[in-house]
Amino acid sequence: MFRKIAIALLCGAAALPLSALRAQETYPNKPIKIVLGVAAGASTDFLAREVARGLSDRLKVPVIVENKAGANTIIGTNSVAKAAPDGYTLYLTTITTAINPWIYQGLPYDFKKDMKNIVLLGVADNVFAVTPKAGINNAKDLIEYAKKNPGQMSYGSSGIGTIHNLLMELIADQNNVQLNHIPYKGAMAAVTDVIGGNLTGYFGTISAQREFIKRGDLKPVFVTSAKRSIYLPDVQTLAEAGLPPIATGYWMGLSGPAGMPDKVVGLLNKEINAIIATPEVIEKFSLQAIDPLGGTPQDMDKFFDSELALWKSAAIAAKIQPIPIGK
């Protein structure tokens, strides 16, 4: 009798999918990997490494960060979407994942179907800053400068299809001006070109420009937060500047492959909420002008849906023509 029961149990176990068997194991019992779709050195990279350090301390397993930059985060996102849903491969989701569906045709994944949200991590305010030599002090000056110098207004950003590129395209369209976009792989190269007079302005996170703004090497024009940033309280928001009243920062969250066990998602959510609420992490985030977020997986789902709708409408208003993947 006992032999028959044992055989039946073994047969039943063999019939279970491998991912389900793994989910039954104690989690975590091996290293966890957090994939980023951007290069090392950015605010996203900093935040990921702080979260990884905290998770490693609390879960007692190594948590590593892997940068898979390229194709506006598509490469990194796709690698996680295709990974085993066992909780050992996670993704540092950013605002770019909500923009890409409206910028590109033929994405190799469907984020809503292929990924599962865990928790919102933080948001970094963005600022558009220019060289003081241009004589641009506010948004009105920016538009006037572009009109008086047709084809001469150039700005840098972290890439085509980013929040910065999309917003500037929208501003250009609504004001009937030409703004020349120059994509950069890193903020420092772009800021150097602005200071050197080779570029009119740069649109990126506050953390990448704050010290240069303090020294007077860059002149801030507007921020993208809903209200004035605590890090640049004297700088107008988009709405105050009379530009498209889009209020959003460069937000970041944690996701994983669809099919991750709810127990694993719940554990990660709980631990990360605790990590980003510690005074030490809050202080470190503030040094990068990042505000902690947190919340439930459902909070992130709702937030992500609202961002998808926001950037769809922005892409339509800016008359963005989606680029086929590979073109």
Q: Express each pLDDT in 39-82 by its tens digit.
A: 887 788 889 999 999 999 999 999 999 999 888 899 999 999 99
Average pLDDT of the chain, as a whole number: 89
Q: Sketch out the chain's domains with CATH numbers.
A: 2-122+250-324 (3.40.190.150), 126-223 (3.40.190.10)
pLDDT at site 327: 53
pLDDT band at 320 (very low <50, low <70, confident <90, very high): confident
Q: Express each pLDDT in 219-266 by its tens digit.
A: 999 999 888 999 999 999 989 988 888 888 899 999 999 999 999 999
Rounded Cα distance between 152 and 221, Å, is: 18
CA distances from residue 157 to 62, 190, 208 in whole angstroms, order as listed: 34, 8, 11
- Could you tell me where the DSSP H helices lie in the chain? 2-15, 18-24, 43-59, 74-81, 96-103, 111-114, 139-148, 163-175, 187-195, 206-215, 262-275, 279-287, 297-317
pLDDT band at 18 (very low <50, low <70, confident <90, very high): low
pLDDT at site 1: 43
Q: Which residue has the tokens 């903020």?
A: 187
Other Cβ atoms less than 10 A from the Cβ of 53: the count is 15
Judged by average pLDDT, the poorest of 18-32, 62-76, 143-157, 196-210 is 18-32
CA distances from residue 51 to 21, 62, 89, 148, 320 in whole angstroms, order as listed: 28, 12, 14, 47, 35
Judged by average pLDDT, the poorest of 6-20, 150-164, 239-253, 290-304 is 6-20
**Given phi > 0 = left and psi -120 to 50 = alpha, else beta, which region is 41?**
left
